[in-house]
Amino acid sequence: MNQYSEQIKILCVDDERNVLRALERIFLDDDYEIVLAGSGDEGLKIMEESGPFQVVISDYRMPVMNGVEFLKAVYGRWPETVRIVLSGYADASAIVAAINEGHIYRFIPKPWNDDELRITIQNCLERYFLQKKNRELFEQLSAANQALEEKVQQRTEQLELRNRALEFSQSLLGNLPVGVAGIDINGMIAYCNDIAAKLLQGVCGDVFGADVATSCDASLGNLLEQVRRDKDISVDTVLGGKPCRVLGRTIPFCDNEAIVLVFLEV
């Protein structure tokens, strides 16, 4: 029973029919599809028309195109296929020198041992599916990285837009012809444009970051209490000895209510 998720196809290439039949007999008890070719050209054509093949076994000594030349062509077009070359001992030195050309996984001398060849094929299949799994994981990782880069880029663009909007808002508030101050839920002056800062200097020691309850005149604290109670006010008062009209309103901020005060000198 095939333990893998796809049909195992092994291509055997040799110009001697008796060698091909011997190879075919070795795998009769295995759930493999064994395909035979009598030359390198025929083997390439079969791979083109009937691939993919997980393993290719090729004889070294063949006319026109020898085994290393054939396996080199296989590597160039189907690099994931595991390549094995068969050869007599007389060719061993030439095979070893040519292994890098065809990126050959294993050199098996003739005559071979059937059991050893079957074990070699099993190792080839383990190598093939391990490399396939690694490729799939790498592709998934690359896709995840690409998606993350796109999200980071999108988030960066959003932050840049928000920063520009914040800079514009601060510039706009800073250049208004009236005083504007923002007080957070804890009663701290979190924002103050120049006009409001000059006005509040008369009632607060330090304006920015000042705690209204402890650092400012009670008149400002009373205004805040009135805004919290009424939500929206418009009153005439005196701050720091200067008469002014104060517009106040609560606004939602971070699941709480902040207060905005607008000061108009009269």
Q: What is the pTM of this model?
A: 0.57
| For residue 1, pLDDT beyond 50 | no
Token digits of residue 19: 């060698």
Dihedral Cα 192, 193, 198, 200, nearest 10 deg: -20
Q: Show the 3-state SS of 243-258.
A: EEEEEEEEEEECCEEE
Q: What is the pLDDT of residues 106-159, one digit of tens each?
A: 888 888 999 999 999 999 999 999 988 998 899 899 889 998 998 999 888 888
For the ranges 40-49, 111-120, 185-194, 204-213, the lowest mean pLDDT is seen at: 204-213
Maximal C-alpha separation, the chain = 114
Task: Answer yes or no: are the C-beta atoms of 181 and 227 closer than 8 Å.
Answer: no
Residue 131: both structure tokens together: 């490399």
Q: What is the model's pLDDT at position 93?
A: 67
In b/e form, how buried is each residue of 129-139, taking b as 16+ CB within 10 angstroms? beeeeeeeeee
pLDDT tens-digit readout, 206-217: 777 788 888 888
Enumerate residues 6+ apart whose C-beta is below 8 A from 10. Answer: 27, 32, 33, 34, 35, 53, 54, 55, 56, 57, 121
State mean pLDDT over 180-209: 85
Average pLDDT, the chain: 87
* H or E stretch covering 147: helix 114-174
Q: State percent of the chain over pLDDT 90.
A: 38
Topology given in CATH for the domain delimited by 8-139: Rossmann fold (3.40.50)
Q: Where are the domains of the chain?
A: 8-139, 171-265
Residue 119: alpha-carbon gap to chain centroid: 39
Residue 217: per-residue pLDDT: 84
Burial (CB count within 10 angstroms: exposed 0-12, middle 13-18, buried 19+), residue 157 = exposed
Of the pLDDT bands very low, low, confident and very high (cuts 50, 70, 90), residue 90 is low
Overall average pLDDT of the 71-78 stretch: 92
Asked if pLDDT for residue 92 goes beyond 90, the answer is no
Mean pLDDT, to the nearest integer, of 171-192? 87
Burial class (CB in 10 A: 0-12, 13-18, 19+), 196: buried
Residue 223 burial (10 A CB sphere; 0-12, 13-18, 19+)? buried
CATH 3.30.450.20 is the classification of domain 171-265: yes
What is the pLDDT, as a whole number, of residue 91?
62
> What's the CA gap between 106 and 112, in Å, rounded?
13
pLDDT of residue 98: 63
Looking up tokens 């393993």 gives 55
